[in-house]
Amino acid sequence: MTLIRPDLDTLPAYVPGRTVPGAIKLASNEVAEPPAQPVLDAIGRAAAGGNRYPDLGVVELTARIADLHGLAPERIAVGCGSVTLCQQLVQVTSPGPGSEVLFAWRSFEAYPIVTQIGGAAIRTVPLDAGHRHDLDAMAAAITERTRLVFVCSPNNPTGPVVRREEFLRFLAAVPRDVLVVLDEAYAEYVTDDDAVHGRPLLDEHPNLVVLRTFSKAYRMAGLRVGYALASEQVATALRKVAPPFGVNSLAQAGAIAALEHREEILAGCADVVRERERVAAELRGLGLAVPPSEANFVWLPLGGRSADFAAHCAGQKVIVRPFPPDGVRVTVSTPEENDRLLAAAAGFDAAGSDDGQPSS
């Protein structure tokens, strides 16, 4: 016997990110602006009640979310960010060894971690040549051990969406006892008319779960609130395994205020979308094959040069997110911050091997 589960040895231990004084951070898909003023006001008021436990049932926020999506509150589970809900989803579907969790790769880096924590086996299907989900191959990879499938649209870190018609074909091919999770963390930035939207598909597909978050477009990543839309059966199970009092009272109050001021807050997404198209076009002009992104980041498929590019950018005080050996994810931010990224990228010799040195 060992004191600690030996299978945890293969999980990455947390390594604090390098902080570079004066650098701009384009590494985590956050929004540079602080939360909206009404959100800050609500947090301030809630802080005065910090001596009390938060509402365990997250009742008021759940009711607001239910209203927004036209669903019964029983079909909603609020979590400490949607990452925590991913972990709960593995917990409620996968009874340990012998269960498999399926997802595309490369996709959200939390999926393999929550799968391993849940004691299930990881099964991945490569993205296609366009950095998109290959849903037909994913459907074919489902076995009787598969308990859960994560589908990320737009896909973090590559950017493309899953199209509605291919997702419907996928749902039709998936057995009813396999849970399909559509992770829509970047839904507010999607402008493609053919993109899948999970909410309208929920009633027809009781094995579908839609994940949304306040971390990105609502500018509340530090407050930790996300939610799942699901069948009552699945949402009830998610609430059962939730960390007790996990969604704290500041987060609950902030998210309620954010929904009250939703339209003003989400108006900022249009600026990001405009900047996304500009940044992608300029990077393509530098010879980089940037796939079409529907999120607040773009993907630079730099392969073996990914770490070099990130180091080069850090030298220019621009922090980006390398995923060697595949590419680099860059968050789309304000025009000024994006210009600094573009200037750094223009000074990088993507084909060369001597970063920062003029090629001879």
Ligand X SMILES: *Cc1c(COP(=O)(O)O)cnc(C)c1O
Tell me the two tokens of residue 208: 């579908």
Interface stretch with ligand X, choices 34-42, 69-77, 78-86, 245-253 (CB under 6 A): 78-86
- Report if residue 29 touches ligand X, rule: CB under 6 A: yes
Binding mask 105-134 for ligand X (x = CB under 6 A): ---x--------------------------
Nearer to ligand X (CB atom), residue 115 or residue 316? 115
Q: In the bound complex, what is the minimum distance in angstroms from residue 4's beta carbon to ligand X?
A: 25
For residue 352, the surrounding DSSP H or E stretch is none
Residue least distant from ligand X (Cβ): 81
- Report if residue 78 touches ligand X, rule: CB under 6 A: no
Q: Of 251, 180, 233, 214, nearest to 72 (Cα)?
A: 233
- Report if residue 87 touches ligand X, rule: CB under 6 A: no
Residues 225, 322: Cα–Cα separation, whole Å: 26
The CA–CA distances, whole Å, from 108 to 104, 124, 319 equal 9, 12, 19
Q: Are strands 208-213 and 226-229 parallel, antiparallel or unpaired?
A: antiparallel
Among 35, 81, 112, 159, binds ligand X (CB under 6 A): 81
Residues 234, 228: Cα–Cα separation, whole Å: 9
Task: Give the footprint of ligand X on residues 167-226 (CB under 6 A).
Answer: 183, 185, 213, 215-216, 221, 226
Q: In the bound complex, what is the minimum distance in angstroms from residue 253's beta carbon to ligand X?
A: 17
Q: In the bound complex, what is the minimum distance in angstroms from residue 154's beta carbon to ligand X?
A: 8
- With vertex at residue 161, the alpha carbon angle to CA 157 and CA 165, rounded to the nearest 5 degrees, is 150
Cβ–Cβ < 8 Å for 330, 286: no
Nearer to ligand X (CB atom), residue 242 or residue 312? 242
Distance of CA 336 to the CA centre of its chain: 24
Residues 167, 147: Cα–Cα separation, whole Å: 18
Q: In the bound complex, what is the minimum distance in angstroms from residue 360's beta carbon to ligand X?
A: 41
Q: In the bound complex, what is the minimum distance in angstroms from residue 113's beta carbon to ligand X?
A: 12
Binding site for ligand X (CB under 6 A): 29, 81-83, 108, 152, 156, 183, 185, 213, 215-216, 221, 226
